[in-house]
Amino acid sequence: MIDTLIFDFDGIVIDTETPNYVTWQQEFEALGVSLELVVWSEIIGGGTGTFDTFGHLEQLAGPQPDGEALKERQRRRHRALIDESPLLPGIRDYIDEARRTKMKLGVASSSSREWVEGHLAKRDLLGYFGAIATRDDVSNVKPDPELYLTVVEGLGSKPGNAVAIEDSYHGVTAAKRAGLWCVAVPNAMTRDMDFDQADILLDSLSDLPLDSLLSRLAEAARWR
């Protein structure tokens, strides 16, 4: 029986990925070059490597003597857009329904704890989650399963009793490697990724109420 709901953060709870890409793209375009989405998408949801966006910019446009000012300008624009970002559709309903039915709630994110908890606190959501795991808590981020296994253990649950809500290939891979059910909700930044591993694919959480989603997963479990 599924009694645990674990959310990815960036791109699932709020759209932090589009503002980050858009503000970096503005800096690239100002220098006459482009930040291709196919390149950017490699870092969404974690990834096993690191992508130096500013380094990539200098590869395309040449050395930037005012690099620190450029990076600070991008950060300010990004923060401003994030602060204005609402919860994504369906998130509040899923959290409220999960709490009503006494489900365990968690967050598994490849971002920093300061980032995740800060934005949850601003939206009065921090206290709703019994366990939060971030890149600060594990040796390996997504697609490694460690983040999900850490949250499941912290909630006192089991992987087979938990469903992950994800928006990226790396995230879905991490959840499935950990043994969780997984619902993929792609966004503008991730919709071209491979989501074949996901148990359910949705355009938005608002398209399917939580009770209906759990019923679909329960039916799938009978055929396993």
Most confidently modeled range among 38-52, 121-135, 184-198: 121-135
CA-CA-CA-CA dihedral for 100, 103, 107, 108, to nearest 10? -160
Amino acid in position 29: E
Helix axes 67-84, 17-30, angle to 10 degrees: 150
pLDDT at 44: 63
Please confirm, yes or no, whether 8 is among the known catalytic residues.
yes
The answer for residues whose C-beta is within 8 angstroms of residue 101's C-beta and 6 or more apart is 211
Alpha carbons 30 and 1: distance in angstroms, whole number: 53
Residue 140 scores a pLDDT above 60? yes
Is the four-CA dihedral 167, 125, 79, 206 of positive or negative sign? positive
Over residues 62-79, the mean pLDDT reads 94
Q: What percent of the chain has pLDDT above 90?
A: 83
Residue 143 scores a pLDDT above 90? yes
Question: For the whole model, what pTM was predicted?
Answer: 0.88
DSSP string spanning 158-208? -GGGEEEEE-SHHHHHHHHHTT-EEEE---TTTTTS--TT-SEE-S-GGGS
Over residues 30-39, the mean pLDDT reads 90
Amino acid in position 122: K
Q: How confident is the model at residue 47 (pLDDT cuts 50, 70, 90)?
A: low
Q: Give the three-state DSSP class for 104.
A: strand
Residue 8 scores a pLDDT above 80? yes
In contact, 177 and 20? CB cutoff 8 Å:
no
Please confirm, yes or no, whether 167 is among the known catalytic residues.
no
Q: How confident is the model at residue 179 (pLDDT cuts 50, 70, 90)?
A: very high
**Helix or strand (DSSP H, E) at 118:** helix 113-122
pLDDT at 48: 46
**Helix or strand (DSSP H, E) at 78:** helix 67-84
Q: How are beta strands 200-201 and 131-133 bridged, if at all?
A: unpaired
Catalytic one among 8, 144, 167, 199?
A: 8
pLDDT at 176: 98
Alpha carbons 137 and 201: distance in angstroms, whole number: 29
The answer for residues whose C-beta is within 8 angstroms of residue 128's C-beta and 6 or more apart is 95, 99, 105
pLDDT at 222: 81
Over residues 76-91, the mean pLDDT reads 93
